[in-house]
Structure 1
Amino acid sequence: MKLLKGKWSAITVPVLSVALGLLVGGMIMLVSGYNPIVAYAALFNGIFSNSYVLGETVRQMTPLILSGLAVAFAFRTGLFNIGVEGQLLVGWLASVYVGLQFEGLSPLVHIPLAILAAGVAGAMWAFVPGFLKAKYHVHEVITTIMMNYVALHVVNAIIRTYLLAPGERTDQINQSASLQSSFLQTVTDFSRLHYGFVVAIIGAIIMWFLLWKTTTGYELRSVGFNKYASEYAGINVQRNIILSMVISGAFAGAAGAMEGLGTYGYMTVMADFTGVGFDGIAVALLGANSAFGVVLASALFGGLKIGALNMQSVAQVPTQLVEIVIAMIIFFVASSYLIHWISNRVNKRGKI
């Protein structure tokens, strides 16, 4: 079977990119005076060694899946949503606000309500760049980046003015709105794993179904491929551009809810961005902008971030080297033409 032929191309490029990223990362460790074998052994041991780190890995994956879906959905429809971080922040705040209200409400109502509020907040935040793109052709990369900073400072201002509790944070949400579970914490040796992972998987299924099994998804993808041909075919291009950004923002807002309702149960005044929204860009890229690919890429990124802590304590390797490995993986995915070139050389030699 030839490399990078047909349907296997979407699988081979990410796999080779990961392998090359780990190889280059190992070479950098070797040059820096660290043993890459010991480092990677500690890294993988830190991901799979016990139930606690497995729980933490899955917990780390949860917001990454949803932020990756947000980026991937927009990209599938021809847009670059670089504002996932800001949409995540407003979603986080909205979920915590709803979680602080309605004391005594059933969890079956309170949790979906808080997640819905987060999705709506993220969607509203994404509506602005979507509207500017559709009506005035303002490039969404510029507006979404600017909206990130607006979101950061607006969220901090709202917390300080209306929701501030001791410790530069909000109060803890009501238990009826919490995704945390004593059962999951017990079986994972008291990790921070919560039921948000189920929400993230449902989000991946929703994205797949919406894009590939509905008329709306077909129109959204059509506009992404060629908006002029779509307009000629009678599709409302402006409406679909706005709708794409709104749906993407809803995924990002839900990612914020996973932090607000699951991992933390509150929101602090942010000195800087969380980075989860920006990591979603890399997750979507590595996952080839597919729902299933995003889940797998989130597992890799979540594992690397959790395993890096063990690599630092056991092998004395700085966690920054894991960031270098992640950066190299992204580089090789972005430079897929290089992998195609290598594949072609291998295929030619196979014919000789």
Structure 2
Amino acid sequence: MSDRVPGAGPEPVGLPPEQLPAASGPLTGQGAKETPEAPRSNQLIREILRGSVVTTVLAIVASMIVGGILIAVTDETVQKTAGYFFARPQDMLVAVWQAVAGGYSALFEGAIVNPGATSFVAFIRPLTNTLGFAAPLIAAGLGVALAFRSGLFNIGARGQMLIACATAALVTFNLDLPMWIHMPLTLVAGIVGGAIWGGIAGLLKARTGAHEVILTIMLNFVALYLVRWMIRTPGLLQKPGTNQPISAPTPATAQFPSLFGEQFPLLNWGFPIVILATVITWWLVEHSSLGFRLRAVGENPHAARTAGISVQRMYVYAMLFAGGLAGLAGMNQILGSVTTGFGDAIDAGIGFDAITVALLGRSRAWGTFWAGLLFGALKAGSFTMQVAQGIPVDIVLVVESMIVLFIAAPPLVRTIFFLPKDDSDLSAKGKAKAARKRAAANDKAVAS
């Protein structure tokens, strides 16, 4: 006797189970509908938002916002209108806008172009000033970045710059040579001097295992007091006919020629040389066998040693290159910016700013190049901000420091701008849970 319900229609006979009509309601088990995967475009956007480029750009934006707040807080008009904010709030809001917009417009006019200029030279001069300020920052930043990629924290760029300047002055300033020999010879002497000073730290690290941070910091002090003694001692570096702690001026035949004429005094041939140094550093680190060994040591020195790479030798090579690039930064100072003689402050803080530039550039050659341009623009524009708007230069230094802070804390940037979290933002339990989810998703994809 049939169990079919009367009126249910004919029984489907002879059809395999997979060809039977699908159930109209929700099912459980194998018949359940799977949740559709997110579109590929959504996944791509999510990966882009997680990327380091977006994080870096937003770190700069966040730093500029913090700088704008400081500009508004320190503005006298804003402080005055804040006293009667609840009576006339629009006055304070207008004052805040004028202070922040005026400050950043002055920064733009001093770093990029001057829209109010009456000649093309005055219009474009701010950009040439930015390039001039950026050249030594890029060179020193490349040295720090290369050391970072090799697993070394080079804080000795200041000492390497000082020794480079002293070496160039001792070796070539007293020579009487034509410019096509004198300038390259001085440049090479400075680079070699910086490389030797950096190589000392690398050799001590390799032979004794001493930490490079301690070594480079101490060598900074050694270089500072050594150069200070030299510029105070007649017959060494002290300018003849004076008892002031200053060296003899850079010979005219050893100075970098101006790139586009005397109307752009800060832009000289030092900048194209820095571009060449960036290309060489990029090729060396990313595409040469030596660069592969340096990066391998930076990733895992124990694995590199197991693979037959001489870790100690790589340490020496890395610090030699880093010191040479810092020496190039010193040469940009005494052959281009400061030609009337130098003192023990010739590094102008560039040695420590280079650490910030390298961090912002993610220790990549071209990233460091663009980061150096950004910091050169901030430096060039800060003077215009102070003169035109009365904004302290220290505000720009705060912005630079905040950039480093946000770069060092990507989860903070992602939280501020509501970006998707990366695995690095998760705890150990969260990472394990995310790994299980990915494994389950992969198993489901294989099964389907």
User: Does the pair score TM above 0.5?
Assistant: yes
Amino acid in the other structure paired with 2:197: W
For structure 2, the residue ranges without an aligned partner over 5 or more in a row are: 1-41, 79-98, 115-122, 423-448
Partner Cα distance (1:271, 1:211) in 2: 31
Could you tell me which of 238, 243, 246 is aligned with 1:169? Answer: 246
Moved more, 10-19 or 108-117: 108-117
Task: Give the SS at the match of 2:175.
Answer: coil
More contact order relative to length (CA 8 Å, sep ≥ 6): 1
Is 2:163 the partner of 1:86? Answer: no
Q: 1:297 to 1:143 in 2, by over 3 A?
A: same
Could you tell me which of 93, 106, 114 is aligned with 2:186? Answer: 114
Partner Cα distance (2:286, 2:196) in 1: 24
Could you tell me which of 314, 318, 322 is aligned with 1:248? Answer: 322
Q: 1:28 to 1:253 in 2, by over 3 A?
A: same
Runs of 4+ in 1 over 4 A off after TM superposition: 1-4
Match of 2:203 in 1: 131
Deviation track 1:28-71 (CA, whole Å, cap 9, x = no partner) reads 22222361111111111111212322222111001001010010
Q: 1:172 to 1:272 in 2, by over 3 A?
A: closer
- Once the 2 structures are TM-superposed, how far is the Cα of residue 8 of structure 1 from its aligned partner? 7.6
Partner Cα distance (2:295, 2:49) in 1: 19
Amino acid in the other structure paired with 1:124: I
Could you tell me which of 239, 249, 263 is aligned with 2:337? Answer: 263
Q: 1:27 to 1:246 in 2, by over 3 A?
A: same
- Once the 2 structures are TM-superposed, how far is the Cα of residue 199 of structure 1 from its aligned partner? 1.0
The structure with the larger Rg is: 2
8 Å Cα contact 1:96-1:260 kept in structure 2: no
- Once the 2 structures are TM-superposed, how far is the Cα of residue 297 of structure 1 from its aligned partner? 0.7
Moved more, 271-280 or 303-312: 271-280
Task: Give the SS at the match of 1:138.
Answer: coil
Amino acid in the other structure paired with 1:344: P
- Once the 2 structures are TM-superposed, how far is the Cα of residue 108 of structure 1 from its aligned partner? 2.8
Partner Cα distance (1:327, 1:160) in 2: 35
Deviation track 1:217-260 (CA, whole Å, cap 9, x = no partner) reads 11111011111111111111111111111111110011101111
Could you tell me which of 151, 166, 178 is aligned with 2:255? Answer: 178
Partner Cα distance (2:249, 2:386) in 1: 32
Q: 1:345 to 1:79 in 2, by over 3 A?
A: closer
For structure 1, the residue ranges without an aligned partner over 5 or more in a row are: 347-352
- Once the 2 structures are TM-superposed, how far is the Cα of residue 205 of structure 1 from its aligned partner? 0.6
- Once the 2 structures are TM-superposed, how far is the Cα of residue 174 of structure 1 from its aligned partner? 2.3
Is 2:225 the partner of 1:153? Answer: yes
Partner Cα distance (2:273, 2:347) in 1: 23
Match of 1:350 in 2: none
8 Å Cα contact 1:96-1:257 kept in structure 2: no
Normalized per residue, the structure richer in helix is: 1
8 Å Cα contact 2:196-2:323 kept in structure 1: yes
Match of 2:298 in 1: 224
8 Å Cα contact 1:62-1:258 kept in structure 2: yes
Match of 2:133 in 1: 60
RMSD, matched Cα: 2.1
Match of 1:343 in 2: 419
Write out aligned runs for 1:12-31 (5 A). 12-31=54-73
Partner Cα distance (1:7, 1:140) in 2: 35
Match of 1:71 in 2: 144
Task: Give the SS at the match of 1:268.
Answer: coil
Amino acid in the other structure paired with 1:169: I
Moved more, 52-61 or 270-279: 270-279
Moved more, 255-264 or 44-53: 44-53
- Once the 2 structures are TM-superposed, how far is the Cα of residue 163 of structure 1 from its aligned partner? 2.1
Partner Cα distance (2:269, 2:313) in 1: 34
- Once the 2 structures are TM-superposed, how far is the Cα of residue 322 of structure 1 from its aligned partner? 1.1
Partner Cα distance (1:122, 1:243) in 2: 13
The share of aligned pairs that are identical, in percent, is 36
Could you tell me which of 280, 284, 289 is aligned with 2:354? Answer: 280
Partner Cα distance (1:62, 1:272) in 2: 15
Could you tell me which of 292, 313, 329 is aligned with 1:239? Answer: 313
User: Aligned residues, how many?
Assistant: 342
Is 2:384 the partner of 1:310? Answer: yes
- Once the 2 structures are TM-superposed, how far is the Cα of residue 23 of structure 1 from its aligned partner? 0.7
TM-score, structure 2 as length reference: 0.72
Partner Cα distance (1:272, 1:301) in 2: 18
Task: Give the SS at the match of 1:223.
Answer: helix
Q: 1:8 to 1:117 in 2, by over 3 A?
A: farther
Partner Cα distance (2:397, 2:339) in 1: 27
Partner Cα distance (2:341, 2:318) in 1: 28
Partner Cα distance (2:45, 2:204) in 1: 42
8 Å Cα contact 1:3-1:9 kept in structure 2: no
- Once the 2 structures are TM-superposed, how far is the Cα of residue 80 of structure 1 from its aligned partner? 0.3
- Once the 2 structures are TM-superposed, how far is the Cα of residue 144 of structure 1 from its aligned partner? 0.5
Match of 1:208 in 2: 282
Deviation track 1:120-146 (CA, whole Å, cap 9, x = no partner) reads 111111122212211221110111011
TM-score, structure 1 as length reference: 0.91
8 Å Cα contact 1:126-1:248 kept in structure 2: yes
Moved more, 112-121 or 282-291: 112-121
Is 2:352 the partner of 1:291? Answer: no
Amino acid in the other structure paired with 2:419: S
8 Å Cα contact 2:161-2:347 kept in structure 1: no
8 Å Cα contact 1:119-1:251 kept in structure 2: yes
Q: 1:326 to 1:156 in 2, by over 3 A?
A: same
